[in-house]
């Protein structure tokens, strides 16, 4: 079985400051891990993915995430937040041999001017 | 590629009416998923197709829900009859190499 815990339901940052969204996972396998972003009234957009290659994964829009097996974590970071980063972010885990995704509860990011 | 295309984007209907949601997956993707998103339950997988064949429909809430995939480029999710508790955003996703790409969703309101 696999599961995801997003440690913060809401994160508020000032524009230009770093963003950190925390995610811990549980998986019986070597997992695939993803971060998706959902802007208001939009679908889920893939930000980045980890599939057992490099542990530091770079995604779109300046986001990156680091896979730490010893800590079972996959935290998402961005050095400098932009107003357009205000959205909901989902950490997702899957078994590479399976089709099912396990979604975290989501973290809502607010960016203050 | 235009991505996964869903229609309509918004649907408002009255209780008891039939609702049909449509999805066009990304060309070349052999897997298709229907999800429902609500505030209370988050994202739930309703049904999964592989090569146009339903593989897992255990998430379909009840017999009022049905889904078809007559060919590789089209799928429908039908609710008949609809109820107010079906109000949600319904997403379609298609995948290649275990990476799922989502459509913009259909926001369904059943009055």
* CA distances, B81 to each of A83, A113, B62, B84, B105 (Å): 42, 47, 11, 10, 21
Return d(Cα A22, Cα A79) in angstroms, integer: 15
Q: Does B100 touch chain A (CB under 8 A)?
A: yes
What confidence tens digit (pLDDT) does each residue in A25-34 have?
998 778 889 9
What residues in chain A have per-residue pLDDT under 70?
none
* B46-94 pLDDT tens trace: 999 999 999 999 999 889 999 999 999 999 999 999 999 999 999 999 9
Closest residue to A49, CB basis, from B31, B48, B99: B99
Q: For chain B, first and last CA: distance in Å?
A: 36
- Asked if B42 lies within 8 A of A94 by C-beta distance, the reply is no
For residue A84, the 8-state DSSP code is G
**Burial class of residue B41 (count of CB atoms within 10 Å of its CB; 0-12, 13-18, 19+):** exposed
């Amino acid at each position: 079985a696999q599961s995801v815990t997003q440690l913060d339901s809401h994160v508020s940052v000032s524009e230009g400051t770093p963003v950190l969204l925390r995610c811990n996972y549980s998986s019986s396998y070597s997992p695939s891990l993803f971060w998706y972003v959902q802007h208001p009234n939009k679908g889920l957009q893939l930000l980045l993915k980890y599939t057992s290659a490099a542990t530091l994964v770079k995604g779109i829009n300046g986001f990156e995430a680091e896979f730490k097996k010893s800590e079972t974590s996959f935290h998402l970071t961005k050095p400098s937040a932009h107003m357009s980063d205000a959205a909901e972010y989902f950490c997702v885990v899957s078994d590479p041999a399976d089709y099912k995704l396990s979604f975290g509860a989501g973290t809502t990011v607010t960016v203050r001017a | 590629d235009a991505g996964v295309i869903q229609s309509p984007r918004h649907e408002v209907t009255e209780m008891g009416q039939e609702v049909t949601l449509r999805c066009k997956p990304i060309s070349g993707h052999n897997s298709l998923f229907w999800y429902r998103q609500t505030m209370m339950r988050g994202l739930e997988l309703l049904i999964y197709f592989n090569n146009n064949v339903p593989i897992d429909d255990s998430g379909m809430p009840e017999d009022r829900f049905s889904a078809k995939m007559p060919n590789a480029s089209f799928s429908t999710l039908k609710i008949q009859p609809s109820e107010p508790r079906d109000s949600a955003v319904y997403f379609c996703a298609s995948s290649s190499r275990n990476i799922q790409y989502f459509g913009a969703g259909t926001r369904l309101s059943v009055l």
